[in-house]
Structure 1
Amino acid sequence: MARSRRVRIGVAVLSIAAVAASSLMMNRFLTAGAATGKGSGNALAAVAVAEYHLGDKAFTDRPDWPGYSEMKAVVHYPRRLAKEKIPLIVLLHGQNNACYVPDDGPSGWPCPKGVKPYPSYHGYDYLGRALAQDGFVVVSLSANGINHFMGVAEQRAKLINQHLGMWQKLTSSGSGPLAGKFTEAVTGRQADVDFRGRVDMTRVGLMGHSVGAQAVMVTAGDDNRGKVPAGVRIRGVVTLASAGGRSPDDESIVSRTSFAVVSSECWREGDREFFDNARGRTKLPAFFVRVARANHNFFNTAWTTGPGSVDKDDTGCPQTPNRPTAAQQQNFAATYLTAYYRLALKDDKGGMPVLTGARRIAGVDTKVDKLP
């Protein structure tokens, strides 16, 4: 009788411990400070920030496209890089102003003398901080030249692949265009960082916002896998508030890579095509996340409070009550993307309740569909 009681007590203790561990793991994904990068000073100090800029005309796509664009990015990474290789995540913004100019002012690319480029690529710094704290190297690309010359998804996809090729060369041999090109984001001094042998280019994630969302789906598309640089494997893709999907017979069909479509209810609905196109084709996790009453611009902090025409509410329901605030929407993005990339790039299923919508993120209502 005593032995039976001890067994029951032991089982109960183990059950309580399991519940506590599960709750602790979920709190990792649901803590606002950790998700937005506004947590403790120690957490922020654990993340380093560098930039590289190879020139405002370094990217071309002739003869398909007459324009040119910069090869420029901001990189968030763990200050103490582990000995083992860690995954890489590439972020890409969408269409917006290339430079800080009034609607009737001079335009051009590069920006006219005395005019600064518009910092769309810094609009995801909150994502970079959150993901770097969680053990990822995060590269946010600038594509202002593509915006000025009205490049489409194909140019943006080629820009992504060109950056990936440079990272593959850098991490495998320490050579290539990026070698010695990193500068500290704050001081502008050369950054003391060596990514050689520290980044796993077979575990790459992509995120695209707005038109950038189309680009990441084209990059990861089944028909375009051969265009990805040798030694690089894309394992997870996220689209944020896409400008719309693409027809089901084109090169943006993704069925051999996991993906998540995060859709803003107050923006457009065409991005569901990305999800529906994979139905019956994919055997990998795919999610369609409808964010109720969400704002397209709030996912990018530079677009949330931008100058002139870019700081307005560009959605279809500006008067709808109970809409998420910018901070709530950005916290949702950081929390959801952290859970997703842990699944896609680290095979960590601990955030599945977040991904399926079973666990609500504060201030944001969602409806989630999942494949397969």
Structure 2
Amino acid sequence: MDPDVETTQATELWAQVYRPENLGDSPHPVLVFLHGNHGTCGTGSNPRQDYNCDYTRTGTCPSGYVVTPNHLGYAYVAERLASHGYVVVSVNANRGITCRNDGPSSDPYLNLSRGRLVLKHLQRLSEWNANGGTPASLGVELQGKLDFSQVGLMGHSRGGEGVRAAYNFYREANSPWPAKILSPVSFRALFEIGPVDGQLPSTTPPFPRLNADGTAWSVLLPMCDGDVSTLAGIWPYDRMLRIPTETPGKQKSTFTVWGANHNFYNTEWQETDSGGCAGHAKLWENDESVGSEKQRTTGLASMMGFFRANVGPNAEAKYNQIFNPMFELPAVLTNVTRVDRGYTDSSSSSITNVIEDFNQPVGTNSHGTPNDAAGITITHNTVPTHYNKANNPDQKAGLISWQTASTETLFQTNWTVAGEGQDISSYKTLDIRLSRQNSSLNPAEDTDLSIQLALADGSLSSAVSLKNYASVRGPVGGVNNLHPILQSARIPLSDFGTVALTKVRGVRFVFDKTASGAIYLGNVRLSNVVTLPASFTPALATTTYPVSSANGAPVNQIHTKGNAIKAIRRAAPPTSDARAADAPRSIEIELETAVNFPVRDAFPVLRIGERDFGISHHPNGDTRRIVFTVPETDFASARNGEKVTVYYEEYETSDRWEFSNLDKPTLR
């Protein structure tokens, strides 16, 4: 047991290392990959079924099972990065961490432990880099070969929040990790795939919500994600837009891939998590037993571009163009699927100027001045997918709808009063975020409108068409929920024609093109760091995307076969750190089903009546059984006969297990 990583279960330092065949004389940038939550023992093939978790607690699997190589599923990216000079370390977090939902009260889903595991690997690598003694199993001596001033992290699912935890552990005040890791670490970039967010209790010190301010960051959101089906990875992006003190200012981006599920970005996760896609085509075939080549293409293109642009002494910023919606996506992606992009150069007030965040009462700009509107309905509110209980309450947008297209149908956000204006001549682009509210319009046609700068004297700039900068369609999503993800449109100020940028009062949105519609409009800002290419072409001017009708429909997978409440019993008092000796007494409710409870990154939830409980474990690693821990006071207040259900987090998933009603007198 390593207290640096986890204090309640034994863990291991186990990883696959990918490297250039010849390391030469110069040190190489280091990338660390971290998988998410999954089974740790599997059986069968094509696909292998990872339904057992014995390895998590015992370090062995039952007869007929193999240890699930969760860390090998990113070789398709790691090998290519190694060919460009990176040393890639893909961490196996199976022992003591993966397939657990019953960690210490401060870290029940073990995402902080994941972060410490990443740092422990960097510590060991730094020791070999400084002192030699690299194990023979790596096939090379790493002494002097690793460049800790150029480090990047990639995390999938719970691994996403895990790598953000590693980043924050290293940089927090009085952190022990800079002393443990022998070479000073500079984290240049973090990339996440379908990450969880907010799985830490709100009381967890020092950071219940984990951000990646101060470094380049991007998140890939699979639009048909059936595991982290809330697309929670958008929440860190929204939060980081509200950090005006970011130092240094670094780009943040979202990369929303239509048709992608959660699992197939890891080739070892061989069964789909998703029931399908609503409003667009899925990227995996029904007869494709293991994974999806099309989906891997989107992962490979985005991760290669991100790390080659941001990590390494020879990093080339041009590869960041794949994330910036001012630039065309490469054909390798557009020939496969559609990708919606969100982007900011930074939230730093030295880089961006906030015009409107819709965080004041309707009719009022964020700076307190009155806005103008005609022929529309508008409210200021949260946005579905971007909002999830306490995780992201501050991301707001203008919910705008209109019934008649006209030059008189408009919304104008004003950050100065009439007759006055701001000097914006030092800025390069106007950045806005937007999405359709619903999918009632033709999915093959963009919602379009005109945008103008409003000047202090009441005049207006030339108008530009939104569709030249963003293709606004959808929303689409998984079979049970659509995702109106806010995407970015970035408009060069020079496109507004010859206009005095020294006295700009606001921005006018004119709904004169699409006959009727409803959009979310958010985060209207200016940016000053863009360098436009010599022959700039608006990103959407020539791009087309494959369009598909829905191939999924809302369904509810309700499992009842073999469901039984096996036992209701008083839990043994805690004996160690974990749940703390003075913790309130608890009740254990053991459930059994014929359909395995899948091991996901979203955590299983026991619902009794209207109350939810999320601490659980699989006894003896058997995922047909699950034991939930319920505080004794909550059990006492539950009414006998209330409905008992198991689901995953926010009821977003299609899977639900229904049991007989609660029989309190069976408590023993």
TM-score range, shorter chain: 0.7 to 0.9
**Which AA in structure 2 matches 1:332?**
T
Q: Does 1:220 align with 2:162?
A: no
Give the superposition deviation at 1:182: 2.4
Give the superposition deviation at 1:342: 1.5
Q: Does 1:116 align with 2:62?
A: no
**Which AA in structure 2 matches 1:293?**
G
Secondary structure in 1 matching 2:23: coil
Counterpart selection for 1:182 from 110, 115, 137: 137
Structure 2 equivalent of residue 359 of structure 1? 329
* Identity across the alignment (%): 22
CA distance in 2, matches of 1:148, 1:314: 16
Structure 2 equivalent of residue 135 of structure 1? 85
Counterpart selection for 2:283 from 299, 303, 324: 324
CA distance in 1, matches of 2:298, 2:239: 25
Give the superposition deviation at 1:82: 3.1
Structure 1 equivalent of residue 114 of structure 2? 156
Superposed CA deviations along residues 62-89 of structure 1, whole A, max 9, x for unmatched, are 8x64112221111110001132221000
Counterpart selection for 2:237 from 272, 275, 285: 275
Q: Does 1:287 align with 2:237?
A: no
CA distance in 2, matches of 1:212, 1:204: 16
For structure 1, which runs of at least 5 residues remain unmatched after alignment? 1-57, 184-190, 306-310
Counterpart selection for 1:241 from 182, 191, 194: 194
Secondary structure in 2 matching 1:100: strand
Secondary structure in 2 matching 1:129: helix
Instruction: Decide whether the 8 Å contact of 1:209 with 1:241 is kept in 2.
Output: yes
Instruction: Decide whether the 8 Å contact of 1:98 with 1:111 is kept in 2.
Output: no
Instruction: Decide whether the 8 Å contact of 1:241 with 1:264 is kept in 2.
Output: yes
Instruction: Decide whether the 8 Å contact of 1:92 with 1:141 is kept in 2.
Output: yes
**Which AA in structure 1 matches 2:149?**
T
CA distance in 2, matches of 1:66, 1:284: 37
For structure 2, which runs of at least 5 residues remain unmatched after alignment? 44-48, 102-108, 285-291, 347-668
Instruction: Decide whether the 8 Å contact of 1:60 with 1:69 is kept in 2.
Output: no
**Which AA in structure 1 matches 2:234?**
R
Label 1:221 to 1:316 Cα distance change in 2 as closer, same or farther (>3 A): farther
Instruction: Decide whether the 8 Å contact of 1:222 with 1:254 is kept in 2.
Output: no
CA distance in 1, matches of 2:72, 2:262: 16
Structure 1 equivalent of residue 659 of structure 2? none
Label 1:366 to 1:165 Cα distance change in 2 as closer, same or farther (>3 A): same
**Which AA in structure 2 matches 1:354?**
I
Label 1:354 to 1:245 Cα distance change in 2 as closer, same or farther (>3 A): farther
**Which AA in structure 1 matches 2:137?**
F
Give the superposition deviation at 1:180: 2.3
CA distance in 2, matches of 1:287, 1:103: 33
CA distance in 2, matches of 1:140, 1:77: 11
Between 239-248 and 332-341, the greater mean CA deviation after superposition:
239-248
Structure 1 equivalent of residue 308 of structure 2? 342
Give the superposition deviation at 1:134: 1.5
**Which AA in structure 2 matches 1:155?**
S
Structure 2 equivalent of residue 15 of structure 1? none
CA distance in 2, matches of 1:198, 1:83: 7
Secondary structure in 2 matching 1:66: coil
Aligned residues between the structures: 296
Give the superposition deviation at 1:124: 0.7
TM-score (norm 2): 0.42
Instruction: Decide whether the 8 Å contact of 1:74 with 1:139 is kept in 2.
Output: yes
Structure 2 equivalent of residue 257 of structure 1? 215
The structure with the largest alpha-carbon Rg is 2
Secondary structure in 1 matching 2:337: coil
C-alpha RMSD over aligned residues = 2.6
Between 323-332 and 153-162, the greater mean CA deviation after superposition:
323-332
Higher-RCO chain (CA-CA 8 Å, sequence separation at least 6): 1
Give the superposition deviation at 1:194: 1.6
Label 1:314 to 1:80 Cα distance change in 2 as closer, same or farther (>3 A): same
Structure 1 equivalent of residue 128 of structure 2? 170
Q: Does 1:72 align with 2:19?
A: no
Superposed CA deviations along residues 255-295 of structure 1, whole A, max 9, x for unmatched, are 11111111111123221111112114231011111111211
CA distance in 1, matches of 2:71, 2:316: 28
Give the superposition deviation at 1:242: 1.1
CA distance in 2, matches of 1:60, 1:242: 25
**Which AA in structure 2 matches 1:74?**
Q
Secondary structure in 1 matching 2:114: helix
Superposed CA deviations along residues 197-235 of structure 1, whole A, max 9, x for unmatched, are 111011111000011111011111388443453522211
Q: Which has the higher strand share?
A: 2
Q: Does 1:200 align with 2:162?
A: no
CA distance in 2, matches of 1:300, 1:334: 11
Label 1:370 to 1:120 Cα distance change in 2 as closer, same or farther (>3 A): same
**Which AA in structure 2 matches 1:330?**
R
Between 86-95 and 287-296, the greater mean CA deviation after superposition:
287-296
CA distance in 1, matches of 2:142, 2:309: 23
CA distance in 1, matches of 2:283, 2:53: 36
Structure 2 equivalent of residue 95 of structure 1? 37
CA distance in 1, matches of 2:260, 2:324: 18
CA distance in 2, matches of 1:92, 1:223: 17
CA distance in 1, matches of 2:186, 2:255: 25
Label 1:104 to 1:274 Cα distance change in 2 as closer, same or farther (>3 A): closer
Instruction: Decide whether the 8 Å contact of 1:259 with 1:285 is kept in 2.
Output: yes
Label 1:60 to 1:262 Cα distance change in 2 as closer, same or farther (>3 A): same
Give the superposition deviation at 1:106: 8.3
**Which AA in structure 2 matches 1:182?**
S
Instruction: Decide whether the 8 Å contact of 1:222 with 1:255 is kept in 2.
Output: no
Give the superposition deviation at 1:351: 1.1
Secondary structure in 2 matching 1:314: coil
